[in-house]
A and B are shown apart, each in its own frame.
Chain A
Amino acid sequence: MDPRTLLKGLHPLEIKVLLSFKPGDSLDSSRLQSQLGYVEGQANQAQAWLSAKGLAAETGRVSSAVYELTPLGRTWLESGTPEQRMVAYLAKGPAAMPDICKALGMEQKDAGSAYGRLAREGVLSMGQDKLVALADAGKDRRSAAVNALLAKADAAGGTLEDGMLSDGERALMGELAKKRGSGDAAFRAADRETVTWSLLDPAAELAELLRTEGVSGDEAGALTQAMLESGAWKTLSFRSYNIRSRPARLIPGRRNPYMQFLESVKDKLVSLGFEEFDGSMVETEFWNGDALFMPQFHSARDIHDVYYLAEPTKAKSIEEPFLSRVASAHENGGTTGSRGWGYGFDRDFTRRLVLRSQGTVLSARKLPTASVPGKYFGMARCFRYDKVDATHLSDFYQTEGIVLGEDVNLRTLLGFLEMFAVEVAGAKEVKYVPGYFPFTEPSIEVHIKHPVLGWFEMGGAGIFRPEVTEPLGVSVPVLAWGLGIDRIALMALGLNDIRELFSADIESVRLRRAQLA
């Protein structure tokens, strides 16, 4: 690599090595520590980075033993070795082994091996009575040596290198240290490799360049507030950063892409002159079905389609005059011009509470206070008795709306649906087929063509039946429409499982990218 390019990427740790040593000098971690004041980690980094740049190479590797103080070793350091504690205890008089263990909180095998060692040295003895007695405390020289070794290790930061040990200490260490299973040993023995390395020839050229450029490795890192206040920055030189290093992961605050999509639909509808409505998630059979002219025995109203509330089970009352008018519409048409369904309307059943199963409920509820002309919409969470899978949820959003006007008609409805198809779903092709909904007549379904997925149903629409509008006080035609918004959202977000829209998984929501138009 070109030396100048190389130079820009050098870290101060590398620069100082390049300026301090010549190719061929034998380097190792301890030399860098003593001569450049590096800590061990910095020394190793300098070597690794220089080697990666082809400026240094390993020349040798020496393995030597090191001994690290274990937690047990530290306990001994604080409260004495088992031998010392046993000797101290027996100074108060002879005792049986089990009592010694109990008093000192030792395991029998540890106490046994301590006794064995002390008995061999003639420190302890056991009489006929099986009591252990102190024979000659002065003969316990080993404990003092062990203590000295523990203290030496502690003073050296917990680790002793083999080179730091005398022959006597090395022999004792052999008894105290274990390589594996060091939980019951005072020291853990390990091998440490010392790597020797040296700079390669290109390093000399680079060092020359550094000198020419006046780069010392002492360049400032961060521009600090103090430098700005004092003006020190004027005389400092600042090191270049490696601009290609990977940036840290940032976790920003963020909107949910699905909700953003829903809001974008709301904004589109508002821009088309629609006013938003909202309402209770708990509804009565009256508004959820009866007001929509669905006969009380309609199959979409039974236990396998709608969720009933267990408690409370019924509304206290239903608003008049709507209740009486809707009841007549069902029974004989009332004043709606219909012959009705011809059955006895159940005024008790109509108070039963359900979880709103269709957004049209809110459209019906809006009718009594709606203006003419008027356009209204709602995005309502609805509840259905459905098995949850990739295309069904037990609760989901429905987007529904109404248009009231003296002169609105089927073709105006198609006009709205075409606008939704283009503006909301981004469709290029739209087609309409006859449909069926209990509350609209005529009814149609809207199909749109997705560039990849082909034709699919965007929603349903129609003109509210007079049996719906008249009892609620509306005598002009009312266009009613609903969009399968979750399905359109899946396409907009590039997902194919509706459950993902309501995902609880924080990371998947964080990383999701919206593909909004």
Chain B
Amino acid sequence: MPKIEVNEKLFFQLVGRSMAEAELELALTAAKAELDGFGTDGEGPAAERTIKIELNDTNRPDLWSTAGLARQLRVYSGGGMPQYPFFSSEGDKRQSEYRAVVDASVKDVRPYLAAFVISGKPISDAMLKDAIQTQEKLCANFGRKRKSVSMGLYRIELIKWPVSYKAVPPESAKFKPLGMDRELDLRSILSEHPKGKEYGHIIAGFPRFPLLTGADGGILSMAPVINSNDIGAVQVGDKDLLVEFTGTDFPSVALSANIVACDFFDAGYDIKPVAVDYPYDTPFGRSVTFPYYFQAPASVDSGKVSKLLGMSFSPDAVVAALSRMGVEAEAHGQYVRARTPEYRNDFLHQVDLVEDAMIGRGMDQFTPERPRDFTIGRLHPVELFTRRAKDVMVGMGYQEMVYAYLGSRRDYVERMNADGSDVLRVSNPMTENFELVRPSILPELLNSESVSSKAPYPHRIFEAGKVAFRDAKENYGASTRQRLGLLTCHAQADYNELAGVVSALLYYLGHDYSVTESDDPRFMAGRQARVVAGGKDVGVFGELNPQVLENWGITMPCAAGELDLEALM
């Protein structure tokens, strides 16, 4: 979930008024946002302070910027429906003085380009920082780490129009990437520039790399990796900037452009369209002028709103609630037809409008209601049986433990004298300490012993919980089982003590059982047994192999066992 920092002065200016911490916290709930830090960077002027905010809704990238978040708060508190006159739409193209031409060579690499120009006043420090933050957050979360959407800003004064977007052999072009003062060819940028190392993998597998150039061949950027160090080096005070988006999913690329255009427009800049010509068909045609309003209207049944929210909503009430969220709507009979805002594309289903109606009405308008349906509650049979086993264990003087389920190869395999062939391994462990899923409870019990030599003896401990291991018979190739592991540790701990415990436990769980020879390397030869009940092998117990004890650094005799509770049910 994205976290952003907004300039306090700019933010409150765009909201329309200043707020104290508590008021802001409450207001942010309408945007599913949480205050992460307010007034934490000292007493300086508001223009130098930042507010840290966490955004929870991954389907609302329009909220991940200063202007976008401010817009939601402004509209919600009655600030009026924003209007964006610069959008083209199907059959309604805006005049544009700028043009970009897409070459057929990018079709299989990174087929879509959207662009517009920011104009009217020099870019401020706060807006430049915000644009850079938007570039990061939008492209990281919504743009899947630049894979489906990336963004670039350029100084118009250095661009010769029309701009061209094509894919070229990586050795055929070179330029100074942002932050470097020497020229590198496209392939070298992937290995030598930090951004190349981070994002190069997106294009590295293609024979040609996507490149944006001016009509004079001047390089703007290698999408989606890095801008050039001249045309692409934007600074505070620059006037007239080109904003460009490339990517693999056209609606995402177009929506990203719309969001940034609306943000700058809200902040008082002019937005000038750019016409983009495609040599191939796109979802929006071969000639698209951006920013482009492509979203379809959505509609919702006011009866559905009433039913899901448990409160009566007339069609007009739905319209009113949606309008508070910045969604223009009108009633048609019992249905409400909503115009999706230019900066949003998250109405997949009627229920998405139901939620906007809920927030628009206000959470405090919904009072809790006691459920009326009668149902019978039940514990799971495994839970019930486990509780019986645990009661018996406690009666026999055992302390219940609760352990983690992930561990290391050292603990689960090596120290246990086990071969580890049945152990489930994680392919992307955070550290080697959390690499395996526990195949048995015994390693955890021994771990307890290894850290508890100062605890007064005797130690008698158990855990009832899950283990998982490889099992080729299963669809998942793995089984999860509920087991009981028990361990006794003191100067006289031995096989006989545990045999008595197992016997009593199985008696109270309603089982006759027998024991058979066992050769489990975790236990001492000749002092261990497999437990057979109802014709099934249900577990093992015995004196722990002194080699295992030494592996764990334990110098007190231990006897332990493990029973499969599900097999005993």
Interface flags, B1-39, vs A, CB<8A=1, else 0: 000000000000000000000000000011010000000
Chain B residues whose C-beta falls within 8 Å of the C-beta of A193 in the assembled complex: none
The answer to whether A336 and B349 have CB atoms under 8 Å apart is: yes
Alpha-carbon separation in the docked complex, A510 to B447 (Å): 16
Chain A residues whose C-beta falls within 8 Å of the C-beta of B249 in the assembled complex: 343
B:34-67 near A, CB below 8 Å: 56-59
Write the nearest CB–CB distance from B309 to chain A, whole angstroms: 5
Q: Check A353/B310 contact, CB under 8 A, given A273-B377, A385-B430.
A: no
Contact of A505 among B430, B451, B458, B460 (CB under 8 A): B451
The answer to whether B478 and A403 have CB atoms under 8 Å apart is: no
The answer to whether A282 and B468 have CB atoms under 8 Å apart is: yes
Write the nearest CB–CB distance from A144 to chain B, whole angstroms: 46
Chain A residues whose C-beta falls within 8 Å of the C-beta of B371 in the assembled complex: 403, 405, 408, 412, 415-416
Alpha-carbon separation in the docked complex, A376 to B112 (Å): 46
Alpha-carbon separation in the docked complex, A394 to B374 (Å): 37
Chain A residues whose C-beta falls within 8 Å of the C-beta of B370 in the assembled complex: 415
The answer to whether A411 and B369 have CB atoms under 8 Å apart is: yes
Chain B residues whose C-beta falls within 8 Å of the C-beta of A343 in the assembled complex: 249
The answer to whether B382 and A432 have CB atoms under 8 Å apart is: no
Write the nearest CB–CB distance from B473 to chain A, whole angstroms: 10
Alpha-carbon separation in the docked complex, A386 to B377 (Å): 34
For residue B454, CB closer than 8 A to chain A, the reply is: yes
Q: Which of B231-239, B268-276, B390-398 contacts A (4 or more CB under 8 A)?
A: B390-398
The answer to whether A411 and B349 have CB atoms under 8 Å apart is: no
For residue B121, CB closer than 8 A to chain A, the reply is: no
The answer to whether B377 and A269 have CB atoms under 8 Å apart is: yes
Chain B residues whose C-beta falls within 8 Å of the C-beta of A438 in the assembled complex: 58
For residue A274, CB closer than 8 A to chain B, the reply is: yes
Q: How many of A's residues come within 8 Å of B, CB to CB?
A: 104
For residue A409, CB closer than 8 A to chain B, the reply is: yes
User: In this complex, what residue of B is CB-closest to A430?
Assistant: B368
User: In this complex, what residue of B is CB-closest to A411?
Assistant: B310
The answer to whether A355 and B351 have CB atoms under 8 Å apart is: no
Q: How many of B's residues come within 8 Å of A, CB to CB?
A: 91
Contact of B405 among A281, A312, A466, A467 (CB under 8 A): A281
The answer to whether B375 and A275 have CB atoms under 8 Å apart is: yes
Interface flags, A474-517, vs B, CB<8A=1, else 0: 00010000000000000000000000011011110110000000
Alpha-carbon separation in the docked complex, A355 to B406 (Å): 10
The answer to whether A309 and B426 have CB atoms under 8 Å apart is: yes
The answer to whether A418 and B476 have CB atoms under 8 Å apart is: no
Chain B residues whose C-beta falls within 8 Å of the C-beta of A360 in the assembled complex: none
Chain B residues whose C-beta falls within 8 Å of the C-beta of A465 in the assembled complex: 349, 351
Q: Which has the most chain A C-beta neighbours within 10 Å: B396, B444, B447, B461?
A: B461
For residue A63, CB closer than 8 A to chain B, the reply is: no
Contact of B404 among A253, A297, A395 (CB under 8 A): A395
Q: Which has the most chain A C-beta neighbours within 10 Å: B363, B371, B451, B456?
A: B371
Q: Check A375/B377 contact, CB under 8 A, given A281-B480, A310-B427, A504-B451.
A: yes
Q: Which of B125-133, B354-362, B491-499, B510-518 contacts A (4 or more CB under 8 A)?
A: B354-362
Write the nearest CB–CB distance from B502 to chain A, whole angstroms: 16
What are some 21 contacts across the A-B interface (CB < 8 A)? A253-B460, A254-B399, A259-B400, A266-B383, A270-B377, A271-B377, A274-B375, A276-B383, A282-B437, A315-B477, A373-B373, A386-B430, A394-B404, A394-B406, A411-B367, A412-B310, A415-B371, A418-B368, A442-B308, A467-B349, A510-B455
7 pairs of A and B residues whose beta carbons are closest in the complex: A409-B310, A312-B477, A411-B310, A373-B373, A270-B377, A442-B355, A507-B455
